[in-house]
Amino acid sequence: MNLFICIIILGIIPEIYASLIQNKNAKICANCKFFIPYKNQCTIFGNVDIITGEKNYESATIARNNEEQCGEDAIFYQKNYFKFITKPYYYTMDNTLQVFYTSFAISLYLWIFYFLYQIK
């Protein structure tokens, strides 16, 4: 009987702690379609350098802390349903040379492997 009571209490305790979390229903920037992963930037807020044309985006942390921008309530938040596409896209755009050299090395290795076993 005591074991049964202990199991019930241990099952209730995590629920009590979970109810104490204040921001559990908050909108998360990492799930927003305007969020740039690996840079922690928001594409809504920023400007374009008129000399170079480079886009300088605001930090997502600054945008969320500023009530005139997105604010704590995330008023510009839109859920990113294509996260599986956008995360690799931004990574590839930021690390183009790395991706190119890695893919080149892998394809070269595969070609060498293919021709070595073709000779036999």
What is d(CA 74, CA 66) in angstroms, rounded to the nearest whole number? 10
Instruction: Determine contact, residues 80/87, Cβ cutoff 8 Å.
Output: no
Domain boundaries, the chain: 82-120
Q: What is the pLDDT along the chain (120 residues), one digit of tens a residue?
A: 555 555 555 555 555 555 566 666 778 888 888 888 778 888 888 888 888 888 888 888 898 888 888 888 888 888 888 777 777 777 777 677 777 788 888 888 888 888 888 765
φ, ψ for residue 78, nearest 5 deg? -135, 125
- The sign of the torsion formed by the CA atoms of 66, 72, 64, 14 equals positive
What is d(CA 46, CA 55) in angstroms, rounded to the nearest whole number? 7
